[in-house]
Amino acid sequence: MYAKSNQYNNESNSKNEITSELENSITLEDMSIISIVNDIISSAVRKGASDIHIEPTEEDLKIRFRIDGMLQEYLGLPKEKILPLVSRIKLIGQMDIAERRLPQDGRVQIEVEENKIDLRISSLPTIFGEKLLVRILDKRQDLLHISKLGFSKIQLERFKEIINYPYGLILVTGPTGSGKTTTLYAALNYIGSIHKNIITIEDPVEYVLKGINQVQCNLKAGLDFSKGLRSIVRQDPDIIMIGEIRDQETAKISVRSSSTGHLVFSTLHTNNATSALNRLVNMGVESFLVASSVMAVISQRLVRKVCPSCKESYIPEKTSPEFIFLSKKHTKHEIKLAYATGCSACNYTGFKGRIAIQEVFKVSANERKLLLNGADDETIKKSALNNGLITMEQDGITKALEGITTLSEVIRIT
C-alpha cells in the first residue's frame, strides 16, 4: 500500500513536472510573441511611422513601416510566427482571433514613452495568412495647432480668415493620408470657444478634442454620416464638422446646413482646390446651391522634409534640368536648393518628417458666376489664378527654395 502510494506519488510528481514544463514553455512562447509585438510597435512609434504592415508570404513574415509616406522594410520573421503574432495583435485590438476568413477592424489606445497612441488595426485574409495593417495615431494635442500645418505666411493668413467665417461650407481636399483630418482638427482647435457649440460626425474619431461634441459613426447600428448629420442640425450647432462627404445625401445636407447660418467643415477627394466645386455638382447638388454655400477650399499634399542633420545647400548649374524648370516658374536671380547625404538620424534616406504643401482657394463672385454658367474646372482655375491663387506646385517650389524639401519631391507629389 505504501509502495503503491509512493509509486502513485512519483507518477503524480512526474506528471506535474511535465505539466509545469509545458506551461512554462507556453508562457515563454507567449512572452516571446508579446515581446516581439511590443518591440515592433515601440520601434514604429520611435521612428515616426504612420503605419505598420504585417505581411505573410510563402517563405516568411515581412514587417514594413511607412515612414514619411514611403514603405521601408523593418523585420523578417520565420513562417511559424505568422499565426501567434497575428493572433496577439488581433487580441490587442479586441478582434475575433478565431475568425480568419473575413476582414476585421479593431482599435486600442496604448502608451509609449508617456505618449498616448491610438492604434487602428485592420485584417485582410490572403492566400498565405492574414495581412494586418496597424495605423498609428499620435494623440499629442500640440500636433493640432495651425502653426504646425506647414502653411506659408500668406497662406496661413488666408486660412485664418477663412475658418473665422460666420457661415458657409469649407472643404479640405486631397488623397488619403494627406493630412486633411489633421487640418480640420487644427482649425476647430483654433476657433473653438465656450461660446460656440461645435459638433462633429466622424468615422472614426481620430483625436478627442476638449470642449467639442464628437459623434462616432456606427454603421452596424445604422448611424452613418447622413443620418448623424440630420440629427446634428437639430442640436443648435454653430459649427459642424463632417469627416468626409462620401455620397449625394451627405453632400446635399452639408450644403443646405451651410446655407442656413452654420459654418460647416468637411473633406472631399479631388486633385486640386478648384475642382471641388464641380465635384459637388457631379455628386448631385444643384449648382446654385454649391455656388452660394462653398466659401473656400484648401487642397493639400504631404512632401518629405530634408533631414536637418545631413542637409547641404547647393546652387544648380544653369544647364541642369532643375535650373531650367525653376527659371520658367521662378523669377529670383539666385536659385538655391538643398539636399541631404543621408545619416543615422534619417535612416540614410536623406529625409526626416513631412510638411504640407497647400493651395487656399477663396471662392470669389466670378468663380460663382462661372459655376452657374456650367464652366469646367480649367476655366474656374484660370479665374482663381487671376485672383491670386497660389497653387500647390508654387507653394512646393517656395519650400524647396527655402531648403525645407527638395525639388524632385515637389515634382513627385504634384
Q: What's residue 140's pLDDT? A: 66
Q: What's residue 325's pLDDT? A: 80
* Residues 112 and 152 placed together within one structural domain of the fold: no
> Dihedral (C-alpha) 249, 252, 258, 262: value to the nearest 10 degrees?
-30
Tell me whether residue 10 is in a domain.
Answer: no
Domain boundary among 138, 171, 197: 138
As a whole number, mean pLDDT of residues 384-389 equals: 94
* Residues 183 and 114 placed together within one structural domain of the fold: no
Where would I find the H helices in 114-268?
153-163, 180-191, 225-232, 248-259
Element containing residue 64 per DSSP (H, E): strand 60-67
DSSP class per residue in 25-47: HHHHHHHHHHHHHHHHHHHHHHT
Phi, psi angles (nearest 5°) of residue 13: -65, -40
Tell me whether residue 278 is in a domain.
Answer: yes
* Residues 296 and 392 placed together within one structural domain of the fold: yes
Tell me whether residue 26 is in a domain.
Answer: no
**Residue 301: what residue type?**
R
* Residues 132 and 222 placed together within one structural domain of the fold: no
Predicted confidence band of residue 193 (pLDDT cuts 50, 70, 90):
confident
Q: Tell me the per-residue pLDDT of 32-70, one tens digit each, with 9 for 90 and over.
A: 888 899 999 999 998 889 999 999 999 999 999 999 889
* Percent of residues, the chain, with pLDDT higher than 70: 90
Rounded to the nearest 10 degrees, what angle do helices 153-163 and 180-191 cross at? 60
CATH number for the domain spanning 86: value is 3.30.450.90
Q: Tell me the per-residue pLDDT of 124-181, one tens digit each, with 9 for 90 and over.
A: 999 999 999 999 987 765 567 888 888 999 999 999 999 999 999 999 999 888 889 8
Tell me whether residue 25 is in a domain.
Answer: no
As a whole number, mean pLDDT of residues 291-306 equals: 94
Window from 28-32, 65-69, 208-212, 377-381 with minimum mean pLDDT: 28-32
* Residues 293 and 399 placed together within one structural domain of the fold: yes
Distance CA 370, CA 152 (A): 29
Q: Tell me the per-residue pLDDT of 233-242, one tens digit each, with 9 for 90 and over.
A: 889 999 999 9
> Which one, of 164, 253, 236, 225, lies nearest residue 199 by Cα?
236
pLDDT at 28 over 60: no
Grid coordinates 545619416 are at which residue?
343
Q: Tell me the per-residue pLDDT of 324-358, one tens digit each, with 9 for 90 and over.
A: 888 777 655 578 888 888 888 888 888 998 999 99
Domain boundary among 87, 113, 138: 138
Window from 1-5, 248-252, 300-304, 366-370 with minimum mean pLDDT: 1-5
As a whole number, mean pLDDT of residues 279-297 equals: 95
Q: What total number of domains does the chain contain?
A: 2
* Residues 101 and 157 placed together within one structural domain of the fold: no
Distance CA 28, CA 130 (A): 24
Phi, psi angles (nearest 5°) of residue 85: -70, -45
Report the predicted TM-score, pTM, of the whole model to 2 decimal places: 0.82
* Residues 283 and 401 placed together within one structural domain of the fold: yes
As a whole number, mean pLDDT of residues 245-251 equals: 90
* Percent of residues, the chain, with pLDDT higher than 90: 51
Phi, psi angles (nearest 5°) of residue 281: -65, -40
* Residues 171 and 254 placed together within one structural domain of the fold: yes
Q: What's residue 145's pLDDT? A: 84
Predicted confidence band of residue 188 (pLDDT cuts 50, 70, 90):
very high
Which DSSP letter does residue 351 get? E
pLDDT at 18 over 70: no
* Residues 104 and 209 placed together within one structural domain of the fold: no
The partner residues of 109 in beta bridges, in order of sequence, read: 118
Tell me whether residue 121 is in a domain.
Answer: yes
Q: What's residue 3's pLDDT? A: 39
* Residues 228 and 263 placed together within one structural domain of the fold: yes
Tell me whether residue 12 is in a domain.
Answer: no
Count CA atoms closer than 13 A to 134's CA, side-chain side: 32
Rounded to the nearest 10 degrees, what angle do helices 82-92 and 2-46 cross at? 70
* Residues 316 and 371 placed together within one structural domain of the fold: yes
Window from 165-169, 228-232, 299-303 with minimum mean pLDDT: 228-232
Tell me whether residue 20 is in a domain.
Answer: no
CATH number for the domain spanning 189: value is 3.40.50.300
Tell me whether residue 21 is in a domain.
Answer: no
Q: Tell me the per-residue pLDDT of 79-114, one tens digit each, with 9 for 90 and over.
A: 888 899 999 999 999 999 999 999 999 888 888 877
* Residues 154 and 41 placed together within one structural domain of the fold: no
CB atoms within 10 A of CB 318: 9
Q: What's residue 2's pLDDT? A: 36
Residue-number span of the structural domain to which 188 is assigned: 146-413
Domain boundary among 138, 160, 189: 138
- Retrieve residue 215's grid coordinates: 459623434
